[in-house]
Amino acid sequence: MRLRAVTSSTFLLIILSSLFVDVSVSASFLPALIKGIPLWLKNSRTSKFSSVWNKLKSLFTFKKGLKLGDVYKGLSEVKEYLDIFGYLNSTLNSNFNDTFTLELQSAIKQYQKNFNLQVTGQLDQDTYSMISQPRCGVPDVVNTTSFTRWWKPGRRELTYAIHPRNNVSNGVKVLLRDVFARWSNATSLGLAETASFDGADVRVAFVVLDGEGGTVGGAETNYSARFGSVYLDSEEKWVVKGESDEGEVDLESVLMHVVGHVLGLGHSFVEEAVMYPIVLPDKKKTKLAYDDLLRIHRIYGET
Ligand SMILES: [Zn+2]
């Protein structure tokens, strides 16, 4: 359990309930041994999650909308956020300033269009609210339209492994097996667990990303080294079984999503789709939606 101020009666209740139900991946489960982002996962984007998210949080209480021409302290963070997720077509090393530019306006319009918000081009309350939701670390807007298989041509069987130092419970292993089995059905690819993490085609790891909220996980593929990685933020309040409450994140739904990425799917803006980038509260997504199936079949054919 995470440390928090609790009254003695709630504390007793927590102890009692934990005796009977294994509902959440708690702090004691956390992979304390994997500090920071491992080298094989570290890139210019994943390294920025933490600083951007922590600076952005202070902006969410701001009520007034911002528009073209405004100068406001913190806008540079909004630009950085939009840049990380593909909305600003600039290099990741640019130094953003706090001026609401035309470029920012069109990035916000694109973001609002994607998330079915009113397209105002302003940083309004609805847009702030959407930005404040926990989400996937993979960009929404990417330059490539087609998927390049990162594994050797002709291979129909791939392996996956979870980082041994994460020391996950059986419950997590079962979820992972189910998730890979569902994607295997949809793609006709064999996806089997292997004991060797470094030798696995798909590496799954809980890592320290940006604290609670913000980026909950994501995926990367490495074409030259021919492996895919799936990462999950070890500091989220992960729920393994049952429904997630406010502030908690359903592990199975996120696993479904991130595994979809390594197999070739980008984000979908159909809210019901597993590949929708935002973690919606109270929405467990364990089965592929029609939209996910349509898109995965476009890559692998009907199964
Ligand atoms: Zn994603």
Decide: helix, strand or coil at residue 190. strand
Between the CA of 285 and the centroid of ligand 1 the distance, in Å, is 13
Between the CA of 249 and the centroid of ligand 1 the distance, in Å, is 14
Q: What percent of the chain has pLDDT over 90?
A: 66
Q: What residue type is assigned to position 68 of the chain? A: L
Long-range contacts for 112-115 (Cβ within 8 Å, ≥24 apart)? 114/140, 114/269, 115/269, 115/278
Average pLDDT, the chain: 86
pTM above 0.75, yes or no: yes
pLDDT at residue number 106: 95
Contact 203, 151 (CB under 8 A): no
Between the CA of 276 and the centroid of ligand 1 the distance, in Å, is 7
In the chain, the domains with their CATH numbers are: 46-134 (1.10.101.10), 151-300 (3.40.390.10)
pLDDT digits (tens, 9 = 90+) for 30-42: 544 566 677 777 7
Distance CA 56, CA 163 (A): 30
pLDDT digits (tens, 9 = 90+) for 292-302: 999 999 999 98
Between the CA of 13 and the centroid of ligand 1 the distance, in Å, is 36
Residue 7 has pLDDT above 80, yes or no: no
Between the CA of 299 and the centroid of ligand 1 the distance, in Å, is 17
Give Cβ neighbours of residue 228 (< 8 Å, ≥ 6 apart).
150, 201, 202, 203, 219, 220, 221, 222, 262
Between the CA of 257 and the centroid of ligand 1 the distance, in Å, is 6
Between the CA of 12 and the centroid of ligand 1 the distance, in Å, is 38
Between the CA of 47 and the centroid of ligand 1 the distance, in Å, is 17
Strand partners, 135: 215, 278
Phi, psi of 210, rounded to the nearest 5 degrees: -150, 25
Q: Which residues surround ligand 1, an ion (CB under 5 A)?
A: 136, 138
CA 72 to chain CA centroid, Å, is 28
